[in-house]
Every structure is written in structure tokens, then in C-alpha cells.
Amino acid sequence: MPTAATKPPTVPPSIERLLLLPLIALPILWLAGYFFPPINHDVAAILDVSARWVNGERLYVEVIDENLPLTFVVHALPVLTSKILPGDPSFWFTAWVVAGIFASFWACRRLVKLVPSADHALTEALLPPVLLFLFTVLPNEHFGQREHILFVACAPYMIASMARGEGILLSRGSSIAIGMVAGVALAMKPHYLAIPAALELYLLIRRGWRTTLTDPIPWAIGLVAVAHFVSMYTIFREYGEFVMPLAVEAYAPIGDTGWRGVLTSNVLAPTLIALLIFGLIAVIFTKTAAARVLVVFGIGAAISAIAQAKGWPYHVLPALSAAILLAALTVSQTVDRYLPISRSGHHLPVAVISATLMVLLYFQAALYTPPFYKQRQFEDSIGGRLQHIIEQNAPHRTIMALSPGIYPLWPMINYIGGRMTMRYLTMWVLQGVYATCDDFPALYNPPDTMGDSEKLVFDNVSEDFAREQPDLLIVDRIAGIPRCQGKEFDYLEYFMQNRVFADAFEGYEHLMDFDRYRIYRRKKNGPPPPSHGEGKEG
């Protein structure tokens, strides 16, 4: 005999709210942790360059970095905010990113409701908390990296593209706003443009030329990208004419693992496998254009990571985020398609499934990277200890570091209000010049045989050292350059070939060896250092 239909148990709404409350409350608490030091070292270095630019140093002349101008324009916002309101640029950077996360989340929640295939109980309930997890928890130590900012800024573009793929036309104002915000994030690195290229190509094939040409979103993105490119040869012409060729010559070889190495890296390879598996399931079982759009977004993000050819974990962050979101979309849309859950009568299953999947994501994230490990260990970290040394021995907070690395010098410099007294942040140009060990007759190129880029750095660093007379000279014993002729590259020995540097170094004495660094202090009986900017030449 057939079983009689049973009525689902009645559950108080308070129980459902109790299940869903942590999905919103936990990310908010998580965001609070990012206000504690340290901020990400790459973020700190970019903030420092932006601060030097805002404070009057000429970008790409008196402070030289390989990153594109828009990067420093964006990061100038927290610097300018700190001049108006209490708090330093590091605090305001985090505050602006958090504000951006809430704005993006608000926009995504509204846009999800426009996606026809997401108009089901579980899909509509699950996607927003997953997005919030991707915005707040997944980045962890990479919080604020440009790849993180990219995903936060492009999430509305991604959701809007899911709606566009299913025939929805957004209002002109919304489209322009979505495109402009995404365009700013996408233009910060040329590799990012693989994402809109892949998405718009897919939508062009699906929707045809007429709809694509009248859609404001790709035009807005393209306008920002073109304007940024033009600015490299007008407003920031030093970048286009000098720094870009220098970066192509010297920065590109650093850490270049090649596309094969990136493909098989510990993060990208599993991400690509997940995209493939979830993509196949989504295409075969969910049969929605929204899922296909998400697959294409993930492919574009993966191409972006591969094109950077470095294999650094944060490069994969947008592709990894797309894979996790695709997994959630695949589960929710499959359940909604084959086991439909009524909105009106079955709130509890939606809450339980959403909460269970989110707990699993949080648990896995905590296993992968312990939450706020760097914040909890900051005082005892190399950065915290080096900060104490500099505070005790650098009265003017001025240092020069001959090192290939950003960390731990940044964010330490940000926190002590210090200043790097040379125009380059690191020895990246020399790393590129000496990236391979050929049959050189000597470990170092003699000054009269140096190429233009090497000679420029050789002279610039020496002149900056002699002019600025920093409190401390920090020399990294790990040069980040391959051994050659059986010897280690020594930055101090290298620059001592320059008479200007050697003469200035006579005013310094060895202070201590700390970790991988040799630290030299300006002699107390030496002449007083010049005030900031005194005698500074372009």
C-alpha cells in the first residue's frame, strides 16, 4: 500500500534565522580581523609608493615601480583619506576594501534576483553567503591584493553577465556603473583583460552582434582600459617610455616559471580540475546559461593567472573563487531542477543545506590556511622583530635596503612611518639582469660594460645612498640571484664598485646581523643627514 503523505514538521522561524545568522555574522567578524597588523606586504609596498607620490615625489622618476599607473591611482584613495580623517593609510585601505565588499555584496544580491535560472529557493539562498565567503574569508593573507580587489569589483559584472546570458537586459545606468567599476579593477593588470575577453566572446556567440554592440557594459570596460593605456603615454609618459620597457627587460624574467609550471602548480592545477568537473556537471545537468557564464569567467581568470607566468598563489584567487562559486551553483541548481524546494513551505531544508555547505567551506578554509596566523604571530615574526630594531636604531626612520624582497620591509615601513631612501623598492632590475648565469669572466659586470638598465640602477642607488644618508643600510644576504662562478651575488660588494657609494659607505659601521640581513648604522660622528628631498634630482 502507498504510504500516506506526511506534512513537513513545523519549525519556528527563529530556528531558521538562527541557522542563517552565522552566514552573515561570521564574515563581518572575520573582516574585523583584517584591521590588525600586518597588512599584506605587496599591498603595503604599493601604498608606500602611492604615499610618496601623493606627498610630492614624481611617480616613475623619484620613485620607480613596475606596476601600472592605475594601481597607484586606486591606492592613492586611502592615502588621501588619511590626510583628511584620523587613521593611517593602512587602516583606510582596509576600510575602503571592506566598504567595497559590502557594496559589491549588496549589488550582487540584487543582481542574483534578475538571473532567471537563480529564481529558486536554494540557489537564491546559497549564492549570496558563498559570495560573502569568497570576499572575506578565502583571501586570508592575500586580503587586498589586486586579484582580491578584482574579484570583489567584478562580481557584479559576473552576476550581471549570468543574467545577460539568459536574455535579461539591464538598465543603461546600472550597466555603465557595473562596467566602469569592473573596468577600473580589470585595467590594473593587462593580464586581467582575459576575463572580459572570454566573457564577452561567449556572450557574443550566444546573443549575436546586435545585442552585444548595444550593451553598455563591454563599452564601459573598454573605455576605462583605453583611457588607462593612453594615460601611460600622456599623464604618466615616464611609465610608457621608460618603466614599461625596463619591466619587460628586467621584471619579466624574475620568478618566471613558464606556463607549464603555472599549469602544474599546487593551486592552479586543482582549480582547473575543479572547473572542468563542475563545468561538465553544470553544462550537462543544470543546463543553464548562468552556469556556462561562470565556467567562462573561471577560464578567463585561469588564463590571466597563466599569462602572469609567476605561479604565485594569489594570482589564482579569481579562478579559485569562480570554481567554488560554480560548485555552489551546480549543487543548488541541480537540487532546484530535480528536487524542487518550495519557497513557501520548506524554508528549513534551504537553511540547513545552506548552513551545512557554508560550514564545510569555512572548515576547509581554516584547514588550508590558519585564520589570521600572521596577525596572531606578528610581534614574534621577522617583521615585528625587525621593526623593533629599526625603531631603536633609526632616529629619522630612514633606511636603504639592498634586497630582492618586499617582505618584511613592508609593511614594517608603513607602521613605523619610515621611508625607503632610494627610488627603487627592491633590487628587481638587477635580478632580471642576472637572472641567468652565463660564462661571465667575473661575478659582476664591470661598470664600463654594463647595459643601460643595469648602469642606471648602479648609479641611481649609489647617488640616492650618498645624498640621503639613511640611518640604516640593510643588506640581504640572499640576493635572489643564481649562484655564478661558484659564488653568491653580494649586493654590498656589487655597489662598492661605485666610487660614490663606496665613499658614502665610509660613514657607516656594522650594527648587527639579523636573520638573513646585515645591518649597518650611520656613524654618530658623521654629518647630519639632509632633510627629505634636499638636493633631490630627477
For the chain, the structural domain boundaries read: 43-367, 378-522
451-465 residue pLDDT tens: 999 999 999 999 999
Most confident of 155-169, 345-359, 478-492: 155-169
Q: What is the mean pLDDT of residues 107-114?
A: 95
**372 conformational bin, left if phi > 0, alpha if psi -120 to 50, beta if neither:** left
Own/partner pairs, 508-512, CB within 8 angstroms, 24+ separation: 508/473, 511/393, 511/472, 512/389
Please list, residue by residue across 335-348, b when 16 or more beta carbons sit within 10 angstroms of its beta carbon and e when fewer do: bbeeeebeeeeebb
Strand 508-514 vs strand 517-522: parallel, antiparallel, or unpaired?
antiparallel
Q: What is the predicted pLDDT for the residue at 371?
A: 79
Cell numbers placing 53: 607620490
Q: What is the mean pLDDT of residues 86-104?
A: 98
User: DSSP label at 380?
Assistant: G
Percentage of the chain beyond pLDDT 70 is: 89
> How far apart, in whole angstroms, are the C-alpha atoms of residue 128 and residue 105?
7
Question: Please, are residues 113 and 124 in contact by the beta-carbon 8 Å criterion?
Answer: yes
- The lowest-confidence range among 360-364, 376-380, 438-442 is 438-442
Output the CA–CA distances (angstroms, integers) from residue 371 to 34, 98, 143, 229, in the order listed. Answer: 10, 17, 12, 38
Can you give the length of the chain in residues?
538
User: DSSP label at 2?
Assistant: P
pLDDT bin (cut points 50, 70, 90) of residue 530 is low
Q: What is the predicted pLDDT for the residue at 538?
A: 39
396-413 residue pLDDT tens: 999 999 999 999 999 999
Q: Which residue has the higher pLDDT, 456 or 364?
A: 456
pLDDT bin (cut points 50, 70, 90) of residue 535 is very low
255-291 residue pLDDT tens: 656 667 777 777 788 888 988 898 888 888 878 899 9
Cell numbers placing 304: 590571466
> How far apart, in whole angstroms, are the C-alpha atoms of residue 511 and residue 495?
19
> How far apart, in whole angstroms, are the C-alpha atoms of residue 518 and residue 508?
12
Q: Which residue has the higher pLDDT, 338 or 170?
A: 170
- The lowest-confidence range among 48-62, 109-123, 502-516, 521-535 is 521-535
